[in-house]
Structure 1
Amino acid sequence: MEPTDLIAVGASAGGVEALREFVSGLPDDLPAAVLVVLHMPARGTSALAAILARAGKLPVEPASNGGKLQAGHIYTAVPDTHLLLRDGRMVLSHGPTENGHRPGVDATFRSAAVAWGPNATGIVLSGALDDGTAGLALIKRRGGLAVVQDPEEALYQGMPESALRHVAVDMVLPARDIGPAVAAKLQSRGVTAVPPLSGLDRLEADIDAGHRIDRNGVASMSVPSGYTCPDCDGSLYPLEDGLRYRCRVGHAWTAEALLTEQGIQVEKALWTALRALQEKRQLAERMCADAKRFGDETLSKRFADQAAEHRGAAEILRKLLVGTGKDEPA
């Protein structure tokens, strides 16, 4: 049976537990199709469909490219592809990552909002940072339902709390109670006018799908932010909501995720610098010993001074990276 509605669910850290609770509460006569996106590594396989199939009454299967949606069925995103929608069918896209993720929660939510309008429901469950907020906001603007897991229940509160800060959600519930509440709401919901999509909404949907876009893309709608994309080192352009950025080729970042990724890159650069200083110290010590062996005291002292300088700089970096403790060996 073709679905009358579309439910898109997004989760990240702590999401498996929340998804199991959510699925266990879904009624067996649900008139909607359910898409589930859980952030996962790009390589490898996912056992999510099998896990969720044991948790509830509805059939669960991995999403397939071109697969037709059926009411009362749950479809899970697969690694390294965005789960999108077109003409009542699923589309697996290798479009640019969002916050470093593919599949991305926002990509699926955005596609649900574009394709299903007021018949779309977005549900944000446990997860770190702020993934899902932008997509949930678009679902709400298009007349759909916005639902968030109670942050007090979520193992990781970042995603639910971000959604609550930026979206006028319709329901905040424990994961187990969301399914029955949404099913009841879908039965009683009236007809809603569908607001038009903005140019940015259409552009982002095309980017998610991997479509060829105008050569300027988001650059034609904004000015460079001065930040660079962690994925490709290109310029990032602020989007109109003021909370997100995209680069020219389409990688998307929220401000919070960008700050976190920049911290990771800074730490990586510091570890690289520490390794280089240690190698320089070892090389200087070796050259000092060689100079001593050949009786060149002046050269030996110069290399000894360099080794001491590199040793001191390396120690400063090491303390910055790992700190020091009373019981730490010299």
Structure 2
Amino acid sequence: MARRDLIVVGGSAGAHAALRSILARLPVDLPAAVLVVTHLAPGPRSALADMLATSSALPVVTAVDGERVRPGRVYVAIPDRHLLIGAGDVMRFSAGPRENRVRPAVDTLFRAAARWAGPRVIGVVLSGSLDDGAAGLAAVVEQGGAALIQDPREARFPGMPAAALAAVPSAAVAPATDLARLITQCAGQPAAEAGEADEALIWETDMIADGRTDAGQPQEPIALGCPECRGGMYEVRTGRAVHYVCHVGHSWSPESFVAASDDGIEEALWTAVSAMQEKITVLRGLAAHAERTGDHDRHRIYRSEAERVHRDSELVRRRVLGAGRHGQETGRAPADRSVLDPD
């Protein structure tokens, strides 16, 4: 009989403290493997596994591509690679498309676990900004797995837990100190037989793992362009969760899409400011030349046009800088922070 023996944990900003609290309380004979993904900044290596090991009753190691997971161990993702679980409980790394602007992404691990381990999975979402993990946790539940969420009121950054709870309202919610107890109670319990993964889940997990798939395109085309590659996008609904995926596999939760769009708008505005500044420089040069040659009409025209472009440039500049100082002006959610921030 299948049992719940694969625990996938995702978090971001503020998740370190919750992870340490959970791992310190898990029993040494836990009959399940634990896979951890947090939003790691790109780099040659991460000290996260070493840091968590100081608080954990279980061995904590950095995940290894191609290695099969073992019960009673904690495996931690590496920077700039998605951590996946595949057939036969074998871990895989992928340099595939970023999801929600990050690699590794929580949704990526959760979807892979949902596809290949189904009812055996326990998904856990911890502190973090925005909403990575919500659609992935919905996929875990849709495939028969269990869902646990850190209480958003306790989380240092409640965005991820709150979004996960909105997507999976049936999930068990608890402070980090109680999540270890819930995990322990759930681990090793009988699980239902796995059902068939839907085509959208197969398409996405194949594209992230291999960059190709025989599955049909996921669900409904939508009139959005991918902020990463500008490709056409599809809307995918998993229970109450919705996310968008482009034809090459970039995936976006709604909040991460809005944040990326804001970045694109700001970049475009700064490009406009730069272009206007160049125009002002040329117009002032033409005005000066006209004045030197005694062409007063052209001098007046060029100087007037330079002043007009300067006013427009200042309006755009104030808008960009104002939005940077006051995020509420654009309605933009605060950017997520790497959990290299120790708490």
Number of the residue aligned with 2:331: none
Letter in 2 for 1:28: V
Letter in 2 for 1:258: F
State the 1:291 CA deviation: 2.1
What RMSD in Å do the two structures reach over aligned CA positions?
A: 2.0
Q: Which has the higher contact order (CA 8 A, sep 6+)?
A: 2
> Within 2, Cα distance between the matches of 1:290 and 1:7?
73
Letter in 2 for 1:171: A
Number of the residue aligned with 2:341: none
> Within 1, Cα distance between the matches of 2:190 and 2:5?
13
| 1:258 maps onto 2:271 in alignment | no
Q: 1:226 to 1:73 in 2, by over 3 A?
A: same
Unmatched runs of 5 consecutive residues or more in structure 2: 324-343
Number of the residue aligned with 2:337: none
> Within 2, Cα distance between the matches of 1:89 and 1:82?
14
Asked if the contact 1:281–1:310 (Cα under 8 Å) also holds between the matched residues in 2, the reply is: yes
Number of the residue aligned with 1:327: none
Number of the residue aligned with 2:299: 300
Q: More displaced, 79-88 or 142-151?
A: 79-88
Number of the residue aligned with 2:329: none
Q: 1:312 to 1:4 in 2, by over 3 A?
A: closer
Asked if the contact 1:5–1:116 (Cα under 8 Å) also holds between the matched residues in 2, the reply is: no
Number of the residue aligned with 1:145: 146
Which digits, 9 at most, give the CA deviation of each residue in 1:201-255, with x for residues without a partner?
11112112124224x9526x433x1110011011111124472111111111122
> Within 1, Cα distance between the matches of 2:296 and 2:61?
74
Runs of 4+ in 1 over 3 A off after TM superposition: none
Letter in 2 for 1:80: D
Matches within 5 A, 1:25-104: 25-86=25-86, 87-104=88-105
> Within 1, Cα distance between the matches of 2:165 and 2:36?
20
Which digits, 9 at most, give the CA deviation of each residue in 1:91-128, with x for residues without a partner?
00122211111111111011111222211110000011
| 1:244 maps onto 2:243 in alignment | yes
Unmatched runs of 5 consecutive residues or more in structure 1: 325-330
User: The residue matched to 2:224 in structure 1 has which SS?
Assistant: coil
State the 1:196 CA deviation: 2.1
Asked if the contact 2:120–2:191 (Cα under 8 Å) also holds between the matched residues in 1, the reply is: no
User: The residue matched to 1:243 in structure 2 has which SS?
Assistant: strand
TM-score (norm 2): 0.87
Q: Please point out which of 226, 229, 237 is paired with 1:229.
A: 226
State the 1:58 CA deviation: 1.5
> Within 1, Cα distance between the matches of 2:225 and 2:4?
42
Which digits, 9 at most, give the CA deviation of each residue in 1:147-167, with x for residues without a partner?
000101101111101111111
Which digits, 9 at most, give the CA deviation of each residue in 1:31-77, with x for residues without a partner?
11111000122344211111111122221111111122122111111
The alignment covers a number of residue pairs equal to 318
> Within 2, Cα distance between the matches of 1:32 and 1:248?
35
> Within 1, Cα distance between the matches of 2:104 and 2:225?
22
User: The residue matched to 1:239 in structure 2 has which SS?
Assistant: strand
Asked if the contact 2:165–2:171 (Cα under 8 Å) also holds between the matched residues in 1, the reply is: no
Asked if the contact 1:96–1:210 (Cα under 8 Å) also holds between the matched residues in 2, the reply is: no
Asked if the contact 1:148–1:169 (Cα under 8 Å) also holds between the matched residues in 2, the reply is: no
State the 1:198 CA deviation: 1.0
Number of the residue aligned with 1:206: 206
Number of the residue aligned with 1:315: 314
TM-score (norm 1): 0.90
Letter in 2 for 1:51: M
User: The residue matched to 2:187 in structure 1 has which SS?
Assistant: helix
State the 1:180 CA deviation: 2.4
> Within 1, Cα distance between the matches of 2:114 and 2:170?
15
> Within 2, Cα distance between the matches of 1:107 and 1:174?
24
> Within 1, Cα distance between the matches of 2:146 and 2:282?
64
Asked if the contact 1:62–1:77 (Cα under 8 Å) also holds between the matched residues in 2, the reply is: yes
Asked if the contact 1:27–1:180 (Cα under 8 Å) also holds between the matched residues in 2, the reply is: no
Matches within 5 A, 1:89-168: 89-168=90-169
Asked if the contact 1:147–1:169 (Cα under 8 Å) also holds between the matched residues in 2, the reply is: no
Asked if the contact 2:117–2:194 (Cα under 8 Å) also holds between the matched residues in 1, the reply is: no
State the 1:322 CA deviation: 2.3
Number of the residue aligned with 2:332: none
Asked if the contact 1:13–1:156 (Cα under 8 Å) also holds between the matched residues in 2, the reply is: yes
Q: 1:185 to 1:322 in 2, by over 3 A?
A: same
Identity among equivalent positions (%) equals 40
Asked if the contact 2:200–2:216 (Cα under 8 Å) also holds between the matched residues in 1, the reply is: no
Number of the residue aligned with 2:339: none
